[in-house]
Amino acid sequence: MWTVPAKDAQIPALGFGTFTLSPDDCQRMVTAALEVGYRHVDTAQVYDNEDAVGAAMAQSPVPREDVWLTTKVWVDKFRDGDLQKSVDDSLKRLQTDYVDLLLLHWPNPDVPLEETLKALASVKRDGRARHIGLSNFTVALMKQAFAVTEEPLAVNQVEYHPYLNQDPVLDMVRAKGMALTAYSPVAQGNILGDETLKRIGDKYGKNEAQVTLRWLIQQDGVIAIPRTKSEEHCKTNLEVFDFDLTEEEMAEIKALHRPDGRQISPEGLAPEWDT
């Protein structure tokens, strides 16, 4: 599996996402993902499955240092002091003394961003997080973050798939030497049955999800973290490194974006999205 550069990090281009997985399903699927070759696992405090991720990794023969592990701080822990304590709690659940990447899960306008980023940077400096970054930040919010911290931000993790244009965020992360991690990369399954993706997939002997994941990771600076409860889908999602989409196919898939393409925009958390 190839890696994607992000500041001074090299992040596996395809990771295993754990959003909405129950603890039992999460432990089972992270175990399966590591067995078939994933070396990147993504979780979050609010998912309530960090314990399961930690148990799966601890029981795996894959060495801890070979797995890129990401977790995210929930918005109620953004105050200086609260954030650091929440990271200690996460590390205990994850059965590790560091995470490779620590993200702010959503923007929180009720806490000064400078205070939150200062706390985040302190966790990086003391080694509890190797790298830090953002999630669900718009271009305007990214600019605010850059203005109040000197610590390099490696990633912005956002919803990204063929039905949602993310050019503004992509342009910004590329300009800053960051990476974009695409969550909900198959639009929560809504790409299944798409005639364009199916036609392109038939050419390569791939399904719509595989074509979509290939489209994402074939873009400069893009990482994808598909989530599944199926061991078979977990395996087939990884089988996207043995074909290349043409420039015309890449453009055709990008043209699938639509105004109502966003799947995730929770009230009370979502910022004013880029257009």
**Largest Cα–Cα distance of the chain, in whole Å?**
54
Amino acid at 258: R
Q: Do the beta carbons of residue 204 and residue 211 sit within 8 Å?
A: yes
Q: Which residue ranges are tagged as binding site for substrate?
A: 105
Q: How far is CA 46 from CA 52, 77, 86, 158, 273, in A?
A: 13, 11, 11, 16, 22
Q: Which residue ranges are tagged as binding site?
A: 105
Concerning whether 47 is annotated as a catalytic residue, the answer is: yes
Q: How far is CA 110 from CA 77, 160, 266, 269, in A?
A: 11, 26, 17, 11
CA-to-CA distance for 208 and 206, rounded, in angstroms? 7
Q: Which of 38, 47, 163, 183 is catalytic?
A: 47
The catalytic residue positions are 47
